[in-house]
Structure 1
């Protein structure tokens, strides 16, 4: 009897050890979401990774450039709208899209992205060109240019291929830069309440360009995002210092967009 009990206990321990060895690793912790007041309830801002974020507002969920695998979105509501800015894998991640519950979502994207999406999404995609807009689910989505300077034939981000986006919701305007430099169209923006601005060489712009661009259009709140470049993470603290040295009214919010880098 004693031998039987010992054998049972040993088998139980072995089973637990085997289970622990085969269990999937826990997803990296996400940054704490921010809450921004609008006329129709709070806008929740959830950083995910690099160019990816989730916005929740008025009972609707918006995924922006979803990437990083489905585990990065664990526990979040399925999207009503998915915004995709460009064709590169850190913006259009087909593997992540396939693993997410997006079958009922509206996908908004430029033509270059729509042409590369799997055929199964064809009926869900609405193409927006620079300068076009769409009213949906109580908000307006406007597509605006994003591109590199100088404009050259071999540019990583030629003008017209990708979209930046402006969302108008609950009396607030939200700017998503996508991959851009401090182009004239960004500098000319007006009445932006919340901005997400990229800064990573050599793909977009450096922190100095980003700071000068932000100081030109003066958003109420700005989040540096998309700030991992060839030489690691950009100095977003320097960006914050430059902006607030010249305009203390701009709320520069530094959040952790790279939880796995810790």
Structure 2
């Protein structure tokens, strides 16, 4: 009952009835504060025509969360989009990397070097080469590799 769930309408619509009362729905560009955390919904989307059916602009969100003086970015299932590259002051970024829905290690590293977070955790990377991503990012950011997917 104290759990806070923030989701786009497309996700909230699929939630079990018992969970719906806990969900705050957000659209791109909207902000809310919950439990002392400011949350801004930012775009996540595919760019190629063949993949727009998966993630068109406005269907889902990435999120920038601010708390304790830190800025944390969660990319959502996105491609290397201009909105990601334009981010500023990100302390920790969780960047997706998994074709066919998101980015290659090269695309993710290129975007990360541009918005330059202090620390990056690649996630949703099943089958992607995280060591290659880390090498491509180089010294621009600290890349922390974790086994999110399990062996």
User: Structure 1 length normalisation: TM-score?
Assistant: 0.55
Q: Say whether 1:207 aligns with 2:105.
A: yes
Aligned match of 1:43: none
Going from structure 1 to structure 2, the CA distance change for 1:153 and 1:251 (only over 3 Å counts) comes to closer
Q: Please name the residue that 1:127 is paired with.
A: 25
Q: Does structure 2 retain, via aligned residues, the 8 Å contact 1:207–1:238?
A: yes
Structure richer in helix, relative to its length: 1
Q: How many correspondences in the alignment? A: 151
- Which string of whole-angstrom CA distances, capped at 9 and with x for unpartnered residues, describes residues 79-124 of structure 1? xxxxxxxxxxxxxxxxxxxxxxxx3312211111111111222221
Indicate if the aligned counterparts of 1:152 and 1:158 stay in contact, CA closer than 8 A: no
Match of 1:253 in 2: 144
CA contact (8 A) 2:96 2:123 kept: yes
Residues 153 and 130 of structure 1, relative CA distance in 2, 3 Å threshold: same
Give, in whole Å, the separation in 2 of the partners of 1:108 and 1:162.
11
Q: CA deviation at 1:135?
A: 1.1
* Matched residue SS, 1:163: strand
Partners of 2:15 and 2:38 lie apart in 1 by: 23
- Give me the whole-angstrom Cα distance separating, in 2, the residues matched to 1:142 and 1:152: 28
Contact 2:95 2:122 in 1 (8 A): yes
Q: Distance in 2 between matches of 1:208 and 1:160?
A: 25
**Paired position in structure 1 for 2:47:** 149
Task: Work out the CA distance in 2 between the residues paired with 1:199 and 1:242.
Answer: 13
Contact persistence 1:151–1:159 (CA under 8 A): no
Task: Please state if 1:180 is matched with 2:72.
Answer: no
Superposed CA RMSD in Å reads: 1.4
1:145, CA displacement in angstroms?
A: 0.7
Give the distance between the partners of 1:124 and 1:226, measured in 2 at CA.
25
Shift in Å, 1:163: 0.8
| Bigger Cα displacement from structure 2, 200-209 vs 151-160 | 151-160
Alpha-carbon shift at residue 155 of structure 1 (Å): 2.3
Larger radius of gyration: 1
State the 4+ residue runs in structure 1 displaced beyond 4 angstroms: 151-154
RCO higher in structure (CA 8 A, sep ≥6): 2
Corresponding residue SS for 2:20: helix
Equivalent residue for 1:242, pick from 99, 118, 136: 136
